[in-house]
A and B are shown apart, each in its own frame.
Chain A
């Protein structure tokens, strides 16, 4: 399951995700991101996400690609260490927000 709430974040709209992001729930995130399109900047807050797989990661990458084509920007923030590690394993750590870089590269956890 994946629940999404929208708040105003530091850089613009923020999608706060709660639950698991995989093949089943990706569509929920894609719809939520689509509604916000054209906003310039989007934050995706993974603080409430307990699980992500490669399908979820590719979904995030796709959202970022769509936004940057329209001149926007997407930041992914607050992944738990396991999730940050998955980003790193598939070579997507640059998608994570810089301020969370310590977490993102956190093999030391």
Chain B
């Protein structure tokens, strides 16, 4: 009491912030890079403005006109608030020392600031970004920094990081550090990930779907030591939905482009639309292709079962079937073929479980004849599109289904069928 009252008289301009009597020196005493504006709320609801000038984990040095002694609550962010009590013997003028009586973190209560809160309050925005982004694997750091910075610029420091959530995992418990507090993550999944990361001592990543199937999370578990780690969760739902939407639009654009450049001869179908196409008519033959020699067998089988009315189409059909089956060997591990007869056409169906065809290459393949000689996909397609009257295609990462319809020709006889 002596010291501060004497100091008020003798050296009124001396700063309390650096005074060892006001707040004990030590590594935990820190000044925020800039004073942090806060409100002190008294028990009767009256609010006083204040600024945090200096702090450690148990005390705050505040500039405020709030009466001291007195007990106040300080709301730092959504799920973090403090109860503080002014210490009448420390400070001068509007500068007072406040003891931290309680720290409320969501459901938890503590008697002092946690490391993270302390660091958040004492670090600069830049430091905070560095710290958080260091929890993230190297290739994501720049992205996280950039996004955090943008977030921080548009909001207050404690409301930062709306894109996801950062949590600390220690001794089997999670504590929300920063970010979107209401982001609900499936506990078993994040626990599992953190245990794995800590056990292996390395960054572990998992993309999971919420229990109700509605949200998609990108989870990163980063071990900090043998018992604790950081969890960084990104909510990808909107990004994924946006991507799906773009893919649907892109698909629609290609459908139209492909139909236009082929005069409707090539139609891209969704797998749902394809189901009906596959079951029309009656089956004449089917087979499997695992090696090049199987293709000649398939070709010969096709030609042998063709009704006489289709003999003029035999060569084109043999080439088309061969091209499609060759693709299944080149781009997948082989495939299946089925020949069906519908009311007016012979329908040849070829399916594989490969990586799918790049849809964006199709309009080129269909339009540019010479594109074909440099491109194995295009070459086969050029021929199939020439010989078949109608081509239906469904392709995706789970495989490709190609349907080739050949109509009965209008009477002209050409050469002999391939044998």
By a beta-carbon cutoff of 8 Å, the part of chain A in contact with chain B is 1, 20, 22-24, 50-51, 53-55, 57-58, 61, 80-82, 86, 89-92, 109
Q: If A22-B292, A22-B326, A54-B323 touch, does A91 touch B370 (CB 8 Å cutoff)? A: yes
Query: Would you call A90 and B379 a contact (CB within 8 A)?
Result: yes
* Per-residue contact bits, chain B 316-343, to A (CB 8 Å; 1 contact, 0 not): 0011001100100100000000000000
By a CB distance below 8 angstroms, the chain B residues around A92 are: 373
What's the least CB distance linking A85 to chain B, in Å? Answer: 9
By a CB distance below 8 angstroms, the chain B residues around A24 are: 292-293, 295-296
Partner of B369, one of A1, A50, A86, A91: A91
- 3 tightest Cβ-Cβ pairs between the two chains A and B: A24-B292, A54-B379, A51-B418
A8, B241: Cα distance in complex, Å:
67
Query: Would you call B326 and A80 a contact (CB within 8 A)?
Result: no
A76, B220: Cα distance in complex, Å:
61
B386 at the interface (CB under 8 A from A): yes
> DSSP majority for the B interface?
helix
**Which of A22, A54, A57 is most buried by chain B, counting CB atoms within 10 A of its CB?**
A54
What's the least CB distance linking B391 to chain A, in Å? Answer: 15
* Per-residue contact bits, chain B 280-300, to A (CB 8 Å; 1 contact, 0 not): 000000000000110110010
Query: Would you call B326 and A20 a contact (CB within 8 A)?
Result: no
Query: Would you call A89 and B373 a contact (CB within 8 A)?
Result: no
A109, B415: Cα distance in complex, Å:
9
Partner of A23, one of B295, B318, B370, B415: B295
A sample of 8 inter-chain contacts (CB < 8 A) reads A20-B418, A24-B295, A50-B419, A51-B315, A54-B376, A82-B315, A90-B379, A90-B382
A80, B416: Cα distance in complex, Å:
10
Query: Would you call A90 and B373 a contact (CB within 8 A)?
Result: yes
By a CB distance below 8 angstroms, the chain A residues around B373 are: 57-58, 61, 90-92
By a beta-carbon cutoff of 8 Å, the part of chain B in contact with chain A is 292-293, 295-296, 299, 315, 318-319, 322-323, 326, 329, 369-370, 372-373, 376, 379-380, 382-383, 386, 414-416, 418-419
In this complex, what residue of A is CB-closest to B374?
Answer: A58
Query: Would you call A89 and B382 a contact (CB within 8 A)?
Result: yes
What's the least CB distance linking A74 to chain B, in Å? Answer: 16
A82, B319: Cα distance in complex, Å:
10
What's the least CB distance linking B77 to chain A, in Å? Answer: 65
What's the least CB distance linking A41 to chain B, in Å? Answer: 23
What's the least CB distance linking A83 to chain B, in Å? Answer: 9
Q: If A24-B292, A81-B415, A89-B386 touch, does A54 touch B370 (CB 8 Å cutoff)? A: no
By a CB distance below 8 angstroms, the chain A residues around B318 are: 51
Q: If A23-B329, A82-B315, A86-B383 touch, does A53 touch B414 (CB 8 Å cutoff)? A: no
Partner of A55, one of B315, B326, B386: B326
Extra A-B contacts (13), CB below 8 Å, given A24-B293, A54-B376, A81-B415:
A24-B295, A51-B299, A51-B318, A51-B319, A51-B322, A53-B383, A54-B379, A55-B326, A57-B379, A80-B415, A82-B315, A82-B415, A90-B383
A57, B323: Cα distance in complex, Å:
12
Partner of A54, one of B296, B369, B372, B414: B372
**Which of B319, B372, B416 is most buried by chain A, counting CB atoms within 10 A of its CB?**
B319
Query: Would you call A82 and B379 a contact (CB within 8 A)?
Result: no
In this complex, what residue of B is CB-closest to A82?
Answer: B315
A50, B299: Cα distance in complex, Å:
12
A81, B414: Cα distance in complex, Å:
9
